[in-house]
Amino acid sequence: EAGVAQSPRYKIIEKRQSVAFWCNPISGHATLYWYQQILGQGPKLLIQFQNNGVVDDSQLPKDRFSAERLKGVDSTLKIQPAKLEDSAVYLCASSFGTGGFEQFFGPGTRLTVL
């Protein structure tokens, strides 16, 4: 079974530039999550999709972050414009259901904002 795929693995940009990350979840997983993990901290949920609908985006900085999951499969997360404090690893995860279902994580995208 293929795991969660993410690209790119690394990205370096200057502040005020824009950047986009892509995620392909495990086939058949209805729920998709984007997390931000700042160095020395645990992952923090940014947005959760159930199929192509948003379940929870309460911690997404909506002035600069946006995400979509068209057709309920792949997802993209965009930052525009980026700030220095956005430097982090962005993790995508998927699960068959919600709540107690195990979440499977991708390898993450390490973003550095200069």
Partner 1 sequence: DQQVKQNSPSLSVQEGRISILNCDYTNSMFDYFLWYKKYPAEGPTFLISISSIKDKNEDGRFTVFLNKSAKHLSLHIVPSQPGDSAVYFCAASAGETSGSRLTFGEGTQLTVNP
Site string for partner 1, 54-73 (x = CB under 8 A): -xx-----------------
In the complex, the smallest distance separating the C-beta of residue 98 from partner 1, rounded to whole angstroms, is 4
From residue 29, give the alpha-carbon distance in Å to each of 25, 26, 55, 85, 90. 7, 6, 15, 31, 19
In the complex, the smallest distance separating the C-beta of residue 41 from partner 1, rounded to whole angstroms, is 6
- Does residue number 108 form part of the binding site for partner 1 (CB under 8 A)? yes
Tokens (6 digits) for 83: 């700030």
Q: Are the C-beta atoms of 112 and 11 separated by less than 8 Å?
A: yes
Residue 66 one-letter amino acid: S
Q: Which is nearer to partner 1, 80 or 97 (CB)?
A: 97
- Does residue number 52 form part of the binding site for partner 1 (CB under 8 A)? no
CA distance 99 to 11: 31
Which positions touch partner 1 (CB under 8 A)?
Answer: 4, 31, 40-45, 48, 50, 55-56, 91, 93, 98-100, 102-108
